[in-house]
Structures are given as C-alpha cells and as structure tokens.
C-alpha cells in the first residue's frame, strides 16, 4: 500500500464548556490514529454527534480557540513534512487550506454567499489561490453544467449546491480532500452521483476522506473505513473486509441496522461526550460486555485495527 | 375506515399543481409507503393529508368523514387525529423549549390537564427512548437523532389515529433509523395506528411498509 499523505496519531480534542457548577469537559476526539493514502477513499462513519466533524476541523485548523488539541497530524508536502497541529495560522491559511487540504463543508449551500453567482465565487476562489485553470475546467471536474455559473445559490438544487462546494474545494487542486457529510439531505440518485464523483477524484490519485452517517453510501464507494463511536475510532481497515466481517460489536450493530440487513437498532444511546464512562465507551450497549476486559486501546492486526478486547477483537 | 385522498390536486402557485389527482388510502393498523424523487410533491401531499394545506380540488376524508373546504386551518379536533413527523427536527422544534416541553406542546394546546399531560409525556418519552436526563435539555444540547425521537414522541402524545412520516429518518444514522421505525411499527401492531411513510429511499420503504406506492414513476 502507498505511504500515507496525511497521518494522524493519538489525536485528542477536548472543549471546556459551561461556567461555574455547569462547567464540564467535552471530549470530542480521543486517541485517534488515521492514515489517508493517495488514490484511496476513506469513509469515516458514525452516529451524529460522535466527533466526526471536530476531527476534520482539527486537521484544517478551524477549531475554536477554546479547544485543547493533543497528538500529531503530519502532512507530506513537496517541501517536506508539515505538522498541522503546531502550524501557525498564517501557514495554514497561505499554504494548507485550499492548496494542500480541500474542505467540502457540511451543507455547502449555507457556505455560498447568497448575493453572488456561483461563477463569481468560483472565479474569486481561483484568483485567490493563484490557480491557473479556467473556471470551465473546474465545473467539469465537479460535474456541473455551464449554466450553473450564472445562478445564485438560492436557484441551485441541493445536489448542485453540494457540487459547487466541491468545485470550490478543488480550485487549488489539493492532494487531500476532506468532505464533511456531502450527501446529507440528498436523495439516493444524488447521493450516488456525489459519492461517485469523490471516488473518481480518489482514483485520480487524491486522498479523500468522506465523513458520513450514511453507511450505505460508505459501503458503496469506500476503499478504507474508520468507524467512530463516542469520540474514538473503534475500528479501521479496508472497507471490503470491515463491511463483510466487522470485528467491533458496534460496527456489527450498525451494519445490522441497515434496512436490507436485519433493520435492528443498537439498543440504548451513545454516551454524552461530556460524561464518557471510563474504559470502553460502548460497553453499556455491548452484547459481548460479559466476555471483555473493557480496555478500549486499539489493537492492530495487519491493515485493520479494532478497539475491543472482547471475543471479536482478540 | 381510513385516511383517504380522493382525486386530490394541490399546489402553491396558481396554474402549477404539484399534486395532480392523487388517490390514496391509509388504513388503520398498517404502513403505506409513498416513494418518489426530491421535488416531486411528496411533502405537499403530506401537508394536504395532515390538513395543514387546503387542496385545490378533490377531498381528504378521515374515517369516512370528508374535511370540508377550509381556508387557513382545518378544525383542531380533526387535525389532532393525524400526527406528523418532518424531515428536519431542528426546523420543527422551538430552540427555547426543553424536549419534555416540546413533547407536551400538543397536549397543552388541547388543554389536557397538567397531571394527565405529565403522565402521557412520560409514557411517550419512554416509548421513543428519551431518558430522564435528556428530557430536561434543549435542542442545541442534543443530537439530531435524539431530537427526532422527541419529534416522534410529540406526534404520538395526542394518541393520533394516523401518523404521517415525511422523510422522518433522512438525516439519521442507520441505528437511530431502525430504532424509530421499530417504535412506529409497535404502535401499528399494538393499537392500530395507520401510517403513511414518505421517503425517497425505496430500500427503507420496502423493509418498513406493507405496500409502497410510486405515483411518480
């Protein structure tokens, strides 16, 4: 397998929220290890509120100042390795965002300026990045028809808005693309269109991270998958292996909840990120908890990791 | 006995009907699926059946009783018999209220006595899996899945005869989707609730509904 272009190790992100008696620490990401490789689409799946978006915000330096971040995230660049978590904002702004890391934000429509056409916004993005490609080529890469250039954001369909966000993220031709829920609220044919576009961008040699709660979309296009639960990456590995033979009981539970695979919910609720239980956060909902030591440290077996000390993991 | 639409035509702009002569019937104790792509008129039809939008022509009837022409709102007693759950729980809840109060809202509007309201809220909150601690929180303090559980509880609190689920699970993960569908299914078999499940996701409807209508395909 190719060397990772972005390598995350032991990433912790915590926020202090509330005041006085209500002050508490929200642990949004705990001990995350993740590699993004050129030419591969990695899907990050998990329930809403499990910390998926915070992970991308940490990588792009977009976290609020109240966040406490630990660990490392190393990006390979033509000028050598860059440590993203220690990089000054000026570096992130001038070298990283848009040029080395493209970000397709959640609900792209709300990130477009409502009073300007798509064309005006994309041309500005290209000019700011100093990218030498014509806007027509950018439209083609994002599978947008030419006439969309003349449209204002409110005239776009959900799928077009999402592709306009993708076009903006591609303006600087970044080798790494982070797409945060690019298919939320789209119907099935559009979901397939957007995920196929992302898969095509990976095939051209980019490293793509697709963050989604849509397990079916992930199953259809991902090369690698990372399953997140209550701030931890509980299972990672090649998608074909994880989706057909999950090791972590949470992955197995999520797959069993799909309409074509049993339609049975995982019992109970995920814990609050401000009140994570010690040890394995999934233990209270886990069907295998009796046969497990409750240690959530990830164990590596070949290209797969699993944070489970129960029968499936050992 | 059913929630019926007969030759219903409805829309928003004059001369542009979004729903054109649609017939359907939701019988009690069953789940009818309604599938169609984005923008085809599923939500408009749902609003007409929920008595929130008057049809231009045709009739909606509840258990054989036609709902006569109304201008802004159908009689509250009739509307209370039909619950609705919308796609986006954030857009469908008042951010200032606690989940418990959100669930209680239709009962307060119907002037149900406070003790009875508290009892029914606790009952439906248990049903949808809202734990005691979650009930005191406001929408910004919970996830989409938890908030949609509250929206389902709110729709079930007045014990409606019919429930319309308009893309109820489109924003939810697989596990929460399966959990909410199983809550609704228990009401269908338990007390004969009649359900219209509206979605663009045919795989979901095939697993959930007894029969799936595809009037737009």
DSSP class of residue A272? P
Same structural domain for residues B5 and B58? yes
My answer on whether B155 and B134 are in the same domain is: yes
Instruction: Check whether residue B139 and residue B204 sit in a common domain.
Output: no
Specify whether B77 is located in the same domain as B3: yes
Tokens of A121: 């916004």
Domain termination residue (choose one: B126, B141, B159): B159
For chain A, domain boundaries: 6-100+174-306
Q: Do B12 and B53 sit in the same domain of this protein?
A: yes
Residue B12 shares a structural domain with residue B48: yes
Asked if this assembly's ipTM is beyond 0.90, the reply is no
Residue B15 and residue B117 share a domain? no
Q: What would the pLDDT profile of B33-87 be if each residue is shown by its tens digit?
A: 999 877 788 889 999 999 988 899 999 999 988 887 666 667 888 889 999 999 8
Residues in A lying within 8 Å of B, measured between beta carbons:
46-49, 157-158, 184-190, 213-216, 253-255, 257-260, 263-266, 268-269
What's the domain range around B148?
A: 89-159
Q: What is the mean pLDDT of residues A113-131?
A: 94
Judge: B38–A188 Cβ closer than 8 Å, yes or no: no
B165 and B75 share one domain: yes
With a pLDDT cut of 70, the percent of chain B lying above it is 97
Mutate to test the interface with A, among B175, B182, B207 (most CBs of A within 10 A): B175
What per-residue confidence (pLDDT) applies to A312? 56
Burial label, A165 (beta-carbon count in 10 A; 0-12, 13-18, 19+): buried
Number of H helices, E strands in chain A: 9, 12
B170/A contact by beta carbon, under 8 A? yes
Is B206's CB within 8 Å of A259's CB?
yes
Q: Per the structure, how many domains does chain B have?
A: 2
B173·A48 Cβ contact <8 A? yes
Q: Are residues B109 and B175 in the same domain?
A: no
Task: Assign A20 a pLDDT band (cuts: 50, 70, 90).
Answer: confident
Place of tokens 């570096």: A91
Q: How far apart are CA A160 and CA A162, in angstroms?
A: 5
- pLDDT at residue A313 above 80? no
Chain B from 24 to 53: CB within 8 A of any A CB: 37-39
Q: Of A237 and A24, which is predicted with more confidence?
A: A237
- CA separation for the pair B203, B82 (Å, rounded): 25
Query: What's the confidence (pLDDT) of residue A311?
Result: 59
User: Which of A48, A109, A158 to mutate to probe the B interface, most B CBs <10 Å?
Assistant: A48
Mean residue pLDDT across chain A: 90
Residue B7 shares a structural domain with residue B106 = no
Of the partner residues A48, A257, A268, the one whose CB lies closest to the CB of residue B144: A48
Q: Which tokens sit at B135?
A: 């009930």
Q: Residue A2: is its pLDDT beyond 90?
A: no
Residue from the list A187, A254, A268 with its beta carbon closest to the beta carbon of B174: A254
- pLDDT tens-digit readout, A247-283: 999 999 999 999 988 899 998 888 888 889 888 999 9
CA A264 to chain centre: 26
Per-residue pLDDT, A292: 83
- Judge whether residue A151 has pLDDT over 90: yes
Are B152 and B192 part of one and the same domain?
no
Is there a single domain that holds both residue B5 and residue B73? yes
Which domain-ending residue is among B139, B159, B179?
A: B159
Residue in chain A closest to B167 (alpha carbons) equals A185
pLDDT, tens digit, 9 for 90 and up, residues A37-59: 999 999 999 887 788 889 989 99
What fold is seen in the domain A6-100+174-306?
Answer: Rossmann fold (3.40.50)
Burial code (b: 16+ CB inside 10 Å, e: under 16) for A29-67 equals bbbbbbbbbbebbbbbbbbbbbbbbbbbbbbbbebeeeb
């Amino acid at each position: 397998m190719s060397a990772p272009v972005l390598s995350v190790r032991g990433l912790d992100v915590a926020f202090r929220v509330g005041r006085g008696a209500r002050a508490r620490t929200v642990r949004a990401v705990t001990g995350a290890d993740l590699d993004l490789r050129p030419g591969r689409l990695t899907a990050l799946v998990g329930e809403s509120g499990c910390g998926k978006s915070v992970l991308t915000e940490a990588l792009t330096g977009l976290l609020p100042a109240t966040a406490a971040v630990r660990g490392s995230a190393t990006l390979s660049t033509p000028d050598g390795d860059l440590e993203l978590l220690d990089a000054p904002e000026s570096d992130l702004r001038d070298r990283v965002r848009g040029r080395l890391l493209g970000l397709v934000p959640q609900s792209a429509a709300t990130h477009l300026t409502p009073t300007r056409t798509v064309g005006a916004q994309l041309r500005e993005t290209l000019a700011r990045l100093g990218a030498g490609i014509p806007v027509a080529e950018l439209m083609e890469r994002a599978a947008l028809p030419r006439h969309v250039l003349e449209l204002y954001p409110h005239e776009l369909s959900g799928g077009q808005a999402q592709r306009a966000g993708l076009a903006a993220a591609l303006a600087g031709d970044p080798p790494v693309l982070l797409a945060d829920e690019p298919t939320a609220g789209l119907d099935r044919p559009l979901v397939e269109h957007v995920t196929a576009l992302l898969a095509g961008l990976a095939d051209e040699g980019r490293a793509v991270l697709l963050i989604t709660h849509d397990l079916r979309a992930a199953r259809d296009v991902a090369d690698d998958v990372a399953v997140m639960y209550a701030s931890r990456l509980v299972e990672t590995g090649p998608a074909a292996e994880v989706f057909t033979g999950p090791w972590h009981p949470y992955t197995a539970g999520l797959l069993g909840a799909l309409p074509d695979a049993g339609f049975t919910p995982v019992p109970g609720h995920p814990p609050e990120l401000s009140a994570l239980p010690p040890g394995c956060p999934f233990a209270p909902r886990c069907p295998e908890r009796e046969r497990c030591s409750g240690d959530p440290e990830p164990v590596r077996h070949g290209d797969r990791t699993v944070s489970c000390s129960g029968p499936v993991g050992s | 006995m059913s929630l019926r639409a007969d030759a219903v035509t409805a829309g928003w702009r004059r001369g542009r009907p979004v729903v054109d002569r649609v017939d359907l019937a939701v019988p009690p104790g069953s789940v009818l699926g309604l599938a169609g792509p984005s923008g085809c008129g599923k939500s408009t039809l749902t609003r007409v059946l929920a008595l929130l939008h008057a049809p231009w022509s045709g009739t909606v009837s509840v258990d054989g009783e036609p709902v006569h022409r109304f201008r802004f709102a159908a009689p509250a007693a009739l509307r209370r018999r039909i619950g609705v759950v919308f796609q986006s729980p954030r857009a469908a809840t008042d951010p200032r209220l606690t989940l418990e109060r959100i669930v209680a809202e239709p009962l307060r509007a119907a002037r149900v006595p406070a003790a009875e309201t508290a009892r029914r809220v606790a009952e439906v909150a248990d049903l949808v899996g809202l734990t005691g601690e979650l009930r005191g929180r406001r929408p910004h303090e919970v996830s989409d899945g938890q908030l949609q559980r509250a929206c389902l509880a709110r729709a079930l609190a007045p014990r409606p005869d019919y429930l319309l689920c308009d893309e109820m699970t489109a924003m939810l993960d697989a596990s929460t989707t399966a959990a909410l569908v199983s809550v609704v299914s228990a009401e269908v078999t338990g007390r004969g609730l009649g359900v219209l499940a509206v979605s663009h996701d045919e795989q979901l409807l095939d697993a959930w509904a007894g029969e799936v209508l595809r009037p737009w395909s």
